[in-house]
Structure 1
Amino acid sequence: MLNRLREHPFLTALLLGLAAQILFLINLGHPAKLMFDEVHYVPAARVLLTLDHAVNQEHPLLAKEIIAAGIALFGDNPIGWRLFSAIAGAATVSGVFAILWQLCRDWRAGVLGAVLAIVNQMIFVQARIGMLDGFLGMFVVLAIAAMLWAMRGPARSVPGRLIVTAVLLGLGVAVKWTAVPYVAFAGMTLLFVRMRDARVAGRPLTTALGDAGQRHWAGIGVVPALLILGLVSITVYFATFLPAFFYAHDALTLRKLIPYQFDMWALQTQVLPAHPYQSDWWGWPIIARPIWYFYEPDMGVWRGVLLIGNPVVMWGGLIGVAACLIGWWRTRSGEALGAAGLWIGSLAIWAIIPKSLGFYYYYYLSSIFLCVALPVSCRLYARGRWRHAGWWYALAAIAMFAYFYPIIAAMPLTGQQSFTHWTWFVAWR
């Protein structure tokens, strides 16, 4: 069975996504009331369904359109609020497998990464809440997989695959502007790899710009490729604003479309008052300040939802990133540099971005990229009698996930002070 699956990576990705989907759907209706930032986005989705006026204007429309579609299809209830988030989480798991498959051409590494993603807890929690970040993660992860798919494709397929990449990137930006740097990263990666190929082949660096004799993204020049990535993603982004042109009050127009972006920028960069759950970007990798999304009585019992990464994955993943960097330094492995670069770049965004407040859920994409770095580091170092170390590590991560499950899945708790069992440090309370 496993040998047959190794020959069908697409089927493997689907099965891993299906397994994640089943897990994410269990008791999706708990809690039965709005939690954390659902109090912003679900009401915004309700208003969007009426096309009455603009709300929650600091973010683009797409994620709220998706939540609104869930409400329209499945009702204004917890399932309607969260079902598409659960689907996005499952797609993200499949995307992790796809990234590792395209990066390493290693089925085992892909499966290991997807398993770690399922139990990294960040995806699980975001898949069960009507927020923006789950959709952001899905589109960015799938865009990275598509970019790698285009990188290795035959010349005739590369433009189409780059278009798919650009569409996904545009959709990511239409969820949250924090996807914008990934459009730039895609272009920078293309140019960097092309120049590296030219240097390795002993050709002038200027040949990296052309379309002939290219090892990666064959048959297309750098300028046409960058135009595809830029123009298609921008077009897709603006297309998601279409419903706003039909608002009953203060409808958007073509003349207002660009000024509206500046209004969004002003809202994004405003100085906000202190928040009890705020945290700094440098504290997210060590889980310095997780967030209670919910902790109160619900349906007659106490329930809690704590956004906290799986310590086995979060802390061990940092070692995985370091191992990838060391492996790249020693071997110049492209896959090691790519895996480490994903995590480093995703965190660097928050060190630069002008936000007055930071929150642990901003670490969402970085936490996913740890699930890429860990399998790649195992490929580099888990040899000989240690060749199964990755799977033993996955078992430890699964056990930790099971330990935290009651407090991340809104399971019935024994009482108001039950949270103390899982909050190892004062800052976790």
Structure 2
Amino acid sequence: MRAFLSRPLPAACGIGLLAQLLFCWRLTTPHVLVFDEVHYVPAARMLRDLVGPVNIEHPLLGKTLIALGMMLFGDGPLGWRAVSTLAASAVVMGVFAILWLLFGRVRTASVGAVVVALNFTVFVQARIAMLDGFMAAFVVAALAALLWAMQAKGAAVWWRWLLGAALFGLAIGTKWTALPYLGFAGLCYLVARWRRPALWQGMPPLVALALLGITAAVVYLATFWPAFLYAREPLTFARLLTFQIDMYHQQTQVLPPHTYQSAWWTWPFDWRPIWYFYEPADGAQRGVLMLGNPAVMWGGLLAVLACLAAWMRDGNVRAGGVALLWVASIAMWAIIPKSLGFFYYYYLSSIWLGIAIAAMFDHWRVRLRYWDEGFLALTAVMFIHFYPILSAAALRGPSSFRHWTWFGSWV
């Protein structure tokens, strides 16, 4: 069994299966709409029935996936959230793939995947019908596909690259905040080809960038197909471009202040999480707090610094790239024209922290031998401690939240 799990595919599938079981446990609790489900579930119903445009500030794909879950499992809590669990499991397995492709060690890939699975952000987003979980799954899978193409030869280079580009199109078709990652991927490709021309053999840089952009754009536009079938105000090819402008205006409108708003530079410190839910439901007081696992969130910041040091001092380009991915993911929020910010915007960045932690332990694997196991234990202890207010478990009463709110800003 140990030899079996030392191979990448069985290990990835095993971790993915355990993550899926974890995400699905008591998925239907609470049996009411939670947080932004009040927006996306009704929009998914409209898409399912092809009634007409609604929730036009975002593209269609994420809501289409929620509608698919409702078609498969019914218009209830299971149907609303089922596909989100699959997206989160895809994130976990995608992180495993990225780390395996970068470092070639099952232990490193497993550490990163488990850390991500036990990060509260991933767990909470796995159990709610929101768009960010789907967007993250496509971005993670796209990066894994492009790295997979890097190691290929012949025709495999081309179809794996096209797969990554198509996944980026799906990510942008879920939420526009995936778009900067497409640009980041293209820039990293150019830098990697400049340093090592043998990578992505047989694919000229200009052709690669053109395929990346054009394929992503075509797939993105294809995600709007259900809107062409609306009974009321169906989309037309003539309206497709102006519809993008309408979405942009919706995205950049100035919104009134919100109780849970927060500045982007506070997100890495776990400073202002969001209570997705805190009220009586299903016969008990229940809560869902969108919070990052403190071990991952704060330890991940140290890991980013360590990865930068490994790059600048020891020439570990892979660790440096992981660190820069996190830096770019948070820096982009300084220029994105959003009038309000919320902690859940940090979701993708919190995933990159798990990769940075694994990369750090990989670089110093001799000096920090078995430290990764200790860190996994700490991460698991934190997860178990906070589990009741991550999973909407039954609490003792209305004041129970005080047991888990370490800081006043967490209330």
Question: When the two structures are superposed, what TM-score results if normalisation uses the length of structure 2?
Answer: 0.99
Alignment partner of 1:274 is 2:257:
yes
Per the alignment, residue 75 of structure 2 pairs with: 76
> 1:141-174: CA deviations, max 9, x gaps?
1111111111111133111110110111000000
1:107: Cα distance to partner? 0.8
Equivalent-residue separation in structure 2 for 1:2 and 1:404 (angstroms): 31
Equivalent-residue separation in structure 2 for 1:344 and 1:182 (angstroms): 12
1:185: Cα distance to partner? 1.1
Per the alignment, residue 207 of structure 1 pairs with: none
Alignment partner of 1:353 is 2:333:
no
1:81: Cα distance to partner? 0.2
Q: Counterpart of 2:199 in 1: which secondary structure? A: coil
Equivalent-residue separation in structure 2 for 1:344 and 1:67 (angstroms): 31
Corresponding residue to 2:388 among 400, 406, 425: 406
Runs of 5+ consecutive residues of structure 1 not aligned to the other structure? 198-213
1:38: Cα distance to partner? 0.2
> 1:367-397: CA deviations, max 9, x gaps?
000000001111222424x311011101000
1:26: Cα distance to partner? 0.2
**AA at the equivalent of 2:200:** W
**AA at the equivalent of 2:65:** I
Q: In 1, are the aligned partners of 2:4 and 2:10 still within 8 Å (CA)?
A: no
Q: Counterpart of 1:234 in 2: which secondary structure? A: helix
1:3: Cα distance to partner? 2.4
Per the alignment, residue 65 of structure 2 pairs with: 66
**AA at the equivalent of 1:330:** R
Q: In 2, are the aligned partners of 1:293 and 1:304 still within 8 Å (CA)?
A: yes
Map 1:144-155; keep pairs closer than 5 Å: 144-155=143-154
> 1:256-289: CA deviations, max 9, x gaps?
0000000000000111000000001100000110
Equivalent-residue separation in structure 2 for 1:102 and 1:342 (angstroms): 16
Alignment partner of 1:99 is 2:82:
no
Q: In 1, are the aligned partners of 2:323 and 2:356 still within 8 Å (CA)?
A: yes
Deviating above 4 A after TM superposition, structure 1's stretches of 4 or more consecutive aligned residues are none
Equivalent-residue separation in structure 2 for 1:332 and 1:174 (angstroms): 37
**AA at the equivalent of 2:341:** G
Alignment partner of 1:312 is 2:295:
yes
Runs of 5+ consecutive residues of structure 2 not aligned to the other structure? none
Q: In 2, are the aligned partners of 1:48 and 1:68 still within 8 Å (CA)?
A: yes
Percent identity, please. Answer: 51
Per the alignment, residue 415 of structure 1 pairs with: 397
Alignment partner of 1:425 is 2:399:
no
Q: Counterpart of 1:296 in 2: which secondary structure? A: strand
Alignment partner of 1:37 is 2:36:
yes
Alignment partner of 1:5 is 2:12:
no
Per the alignment, residue 202 of structure 1 pairs with: none
1:4: Cα distance to partner? 2.7
Q: Counterpart of 2:269 in 1: which secondary structure? A: coil
Q: In 1, are the aligned partners of 2:311 and 2:320 still within 8 Å (CA)?
A: yes
Per the alignment, residue 49 of structure 1 pairs with: 48
Alignment partner of 1:287 is 2:270:
yes
1:253: Cα distance to partner? 0.2
Equivalent-residue separation in structure 2 for 1:3 and 1:317 (angstroms): 30
Corresponding residue to 1:249 among 232, 245, 257: 232
> 1:105-133: CA deviations, max 9, x gaps?
11100000011011111100000000001
**Matched length:** 411
> 1:220-252: CA deviations, max 9, x gaps?
100111111111111100001001011111110
Per the alignment, residue 20 of structure 2 pairs with: 21
Q: Counterpart of 2:173 in 1: which secondary structure? A: helix
**AA at the equivalent of 1:323:** A
Equivalent-residue separation in structure 2 for 1:321 and 1:103 (angstroms): 16
Per the alignment, residue 349 of structure 2 pairs with: 366
Tell me the C-alpha RMSD between the 2 structures: 0.9
Q: Counterpart of 1:175 in 2: which secondary structure? A: coil
Q: Counterpart of 1:172 in 2: which secondary structure? A: helix
Q: In 2, are the aligned partners of 1:328 and 1:337 still within 8 Å (CA)?
A: yes
Q: In 2, are the aligned partners of 1:70 and 1:81 still within 8 Å (CA)?
A: yes
Question: When the two structures are superposed, what TM-score results if normalisation uses the length of structure 1?
Answer: 0.95
Q: In 1, are the aligned partners of 2:98 and 2:144 still within 8 Å (CA)?
A: yes
Per the alignment, residue 192 of structure 2 pairs with: 193
Equivalent-residue separation in structure 2 for 1:334 and 1:150 (angstroms): 18
Per the alignment, residue 391 of structure 1 pairs with: 373
